[in-house]
Amino acid sequence: MFDLPALPYEMTALEPYISAKTMEFHYGKHHKAYVDNLNKLAKGTEFENMPLERVVKETYNKPEFAPIFNNAAQAWNHNFFWHSMEKNGGGKPEGGLLAKIERDFGSYEKFREAFKNAATSQFGSGWAWLVEDTDGKLKVVKTSNADTPVARGQKPLITLDVWEHAYYLDYQNRRPDFVEAFLDHLVKF
């Protein structure tokens, strides 16, 4: 059985940037539905008792397992997303991570621009990520629908959900404002 992990903060913690109402739907309905669907689909299969991340990797790019991949990857992505934010977050990281960002992007501001571009230009549903690639370099990547860098062996450092369900109640069509709020007030590196 796969579980819906508790949120690392209260439903109201990210207000006014993400409302409790958005959290109630996003975590309580959307995220829960991925976990519930995964449990139904995995029941009686080889995936039933596997760690979630392994299910994601083993079902990646296999059309016959697409429904399991989609729900497992969305469950993993959301677990990671909630931990990419905190109350009074946002702004520059510190220490070793800042040094790596400066090494690989030139500056924090250039990283910020790259992340904002990825998150706003992802067409349709998807995710924006800061990852450590297999060669050790930090990269900004975007993925469509449930797709996740974890499936390709990249190590996610932060992610932002840019499916409409993540921001529509609070921002309607203004995805760039949601991305700015995430970077300046919510992100937890």
User: What is the distance between the alpha carbons of residues 79 and 66, in angstroms, rounded to a whole number?
Assistant: 20
Query: To the nearest whole angstrom, how small is the minimum distance from the Cβ of residue 166 to Mn ion?
Result: 5
Query: Interface residues for Mn ion in 95-134 (CB under 5 A)?
Result: none
Span near Mn ion by CB under 5 A; candidates 5-13, 82-90, 102-110, 157-165: 157-165
Q: Which of 131, 151, 148, 147 is nearest to 139 (CA)?
A: 131
Question: Residue of minimal CB distance from Mn ion?
Answer: 161
Crossing angle of helices 52-59 and 66-82, rounded to 10° = 140
In the complex, what is the shortest distance from the CB of residue 26 to Mn ion, in angstroms, rounded to a whole number? 6
- Strand ranges inside the chain, DSSP E: 126-132, 138-144, 155-161
Candidate segments 6-14, 17-25, 38-46, 155-163, binder of Mn ion by CB under 5 A: 155-163
Q: Which is nearer to Mn ion, 161 or 170 (CB)?
A: 161
CA atoms within 13 A on the CB side of 66: 3
Shortest separation between residue 161's beta carbon and Mn ion, angstroms: 4
Interaction between residue 147 and Mn ion (CB under 5 A):
no
Smallest gap from Cβ 15 to Mn ion, in A, equals 18
Which residues partner with 126 through β-bridges?
144
- Which range, of 44-52, 96-104, 105-113, 161-169, touches Mn ion by CB under 5 A? 161-169
Q: Determine the size of the site formed for Mn ion (CB under 5 A).
A: 2
Residue 155: exposed, middle, or buried by beta-carbon count in 10 A (0-12, 13-18, 19+)?
A: middle
Q: H or E element: which one contains 115?
A: helix 108-121
Tell me which stretch binds Mn ion (CB under 5 A): 12-20, 133-141, 143-151, 159-167: 159-167
Residues 6+ apart with CB under 8 A from 21: 169
Which residue of 161, 162, 170, 181 would you call a contact of Mn ion, by CB under 5 A? 161
- Enumerate binding residues for Mn ion (CB under 5 A): 161, 163
